[in-house]
Structure 1
């Protein structure tokens, strides 16, 4: 018998019962929430998040710091999806669709919000240059987020981006009714910017970023992607792409909030 086999409460998160998975850590007190993910009873530290992140290759469980400022997670409504569906979507396809639908619905003067791109979707920004190891940046970000006091979530996900679908997160529901395409966007950011999913709230998402844009031109292009992903970040924040771009230059933390 494997002394480090997954606790039974975690095995139920996997379709195959967690076969071949192991965990070399003591699991805090907690339980599974609506068959979607496991959540700790108490708040955890950034160091605890890091330890579970390091275990991910063996455990298959991606850790997420759960912002509970809005309401307890136990009372939430979740709609888990098969992560296999994510590969049917692309970040560029999602961005183009959002852009075209918005342009078709707004008056011409509203296009100033998307200056200098206007009605024409610029497509995906070039990849960033990694300034540090993605895991190290994620660990730093977790340390910062954990200061606000958050329980730990564990999702049976091959990669952090897939946790959005696996956990049935509905944070961007008022922008996009289905979370699977958004997970495809986050996968693309993992690959192009060394992003990692670190924190999640009922309508928030926090990513660490190891390869952020380092100049305003690149940041402006990335800002266009962020607008398609989460318009509220720009509209109710900086107000336009240029102002938002200035905020994300050299930023190792991308935080999203949907109204």
Structure 2
């Protein structure tokens, strides 16, 4: 009996066919970036992701989030430079071998542990209490999920592509590169890459992916862009009222406390500024 040919890794195909024509793609000029590490037995390290050579404009994400890419097992995301850290993705900033498997974790315990890290010490008194009000030191629990279907529920992928265009056109992502990453879903991209953006807060990016998975399921969130230490999500169904948004803001604080510590100053203020009705959630880690 003749064995069927082995299915090649899509990045190995892109290493030989950088425009992706054999995968039914029409990519801009680009190439694969290989995993950090030494060559073994004369072989180059395995490919980790494909990245465009030049910046892409509005419409690029929409053009490359089609069925061909999904069939190839790839996820499209934008990578953004930072002044002084241009092309950071080429400088061994990825450590996939250090990450655990998101399947081994559950969102509630992850966020509860994060919350325990960031709630102010009781010695901070009223000032500390004001940061997390209306919540106390105990983990408040997961926010209620938004409706997942119905005539008024936007398509999450369409919302992601629309946000990507807005961020490019308004200068929030002034020179993004298109990147393709092998992952089952967008939330898993940071873990598949071994992205080190939140390393000063959490070394295991799988825990970040667990939270992103939950937001995908509960709010139609989709990963749009990664920077050196920042992350941008589109949100198809954001919480429409302050009451619904406050528990979501608590989750944001647990995941990325710098959003509040070095930004809004309190969960209440952050809720109104960045969560209620917002189709763009962004996070950064100092």
TM, length-normalised to structure 2: 0.80
Moved more, 188-197 or 85-94: 85-94
C-alpha contact (below 8 Å) 2:11/2:50 kept by paired residues: no
Show the 5 A alignment for 1:129-144.
129=147, 131-144=153-166
| Corresponding position of 1:125 | 143
How far apart in 2 are the matches of 1:144 and 1:218? 26
| Corresponding position of 2:25 | 25
**3-state secondary structure, aligned to 2:114:** helix
Q: Does the alignment pair 1:197 with 2:223?
A: yes
How much does 1:46 deviate? 3.1
TM, length-normalised to structure 1: 0.88
Q: Does the alignment pair 1:257 with 2:281?
A: no
How far apart in 2 are the matches of 1:136 and 1:39? 22
Q: How many residues align?
A: 247
**3-state secondary structure, aligned to 1:107:** helix
How much does 1:189 deviate? 0.3
Moved more, 141-150 or 189-198: 141-150
Q: Does the alignment pair 1:10 with 2:14?
A: yes
Show the 5 A alignment for 1:26-105.
26-35=26-35, 36-54=48-66, 55-70=68-83, 71=85, 72=87, 73-81=89-97, 85-103=101-119
1:83/1:172 CA distance change after superposition, 3 Å:
closer
**3-state secondary structure, aligned to 1:44:** coil
Moved more, 73-82 or 142-151: 73-82
How much does 1:11 deviate? 6.7
How far apart in 2 are the matches of 1:165 and 1:7? 17
How much does 1:80 deviate? 1.1
Q: Which one of the candidate residues 177, 180, 184 is aligned to 2:203?
A: 177
How much does 1:97 deviate? 0.7
C-alpha contact (below 8 Å) 2:101/2:206 kept by paired residues: yes
How far apart in 2 are the matches of 1:189 and 1:81? 25
**3-state secondary structure, aligned to 2:217:** helix
Q: Which one of the candidate residues 249, 257, 264 is aligned to 1:231?
A: 257
Q: Which one of the candidate residues 206, 228, 244 is aligned to 2:232?
A: 206
1:141-190: per-residue Cα shift (whole Å, max 9, x none)? Answer: 11123332211111001100110101111111111121111100000000
1:105/1:27 CA distance change after superposition, 3 Å:
same
1:48-69: per-residue Cα shift (whole Å, max 9, x none)? Answer: 2112111332121111110112
How much does 1:237 deviate? 1.1
1:188-243: per-residue Cα shift (whole Å, max 9, x none)? Answer: 00000000001000100000000101000111110000001100011111100000
How much does 1:30 deviate? 1.5
Structure 1, unpaired ranges of 5+? 13-21
1:95/1:139 CA distance change after superposition, 3 Å:
same
How far apart in 2 are the matches of 1:103 and 1:216? 21
**3-state secondary structure, aligned to 2:165:** helix
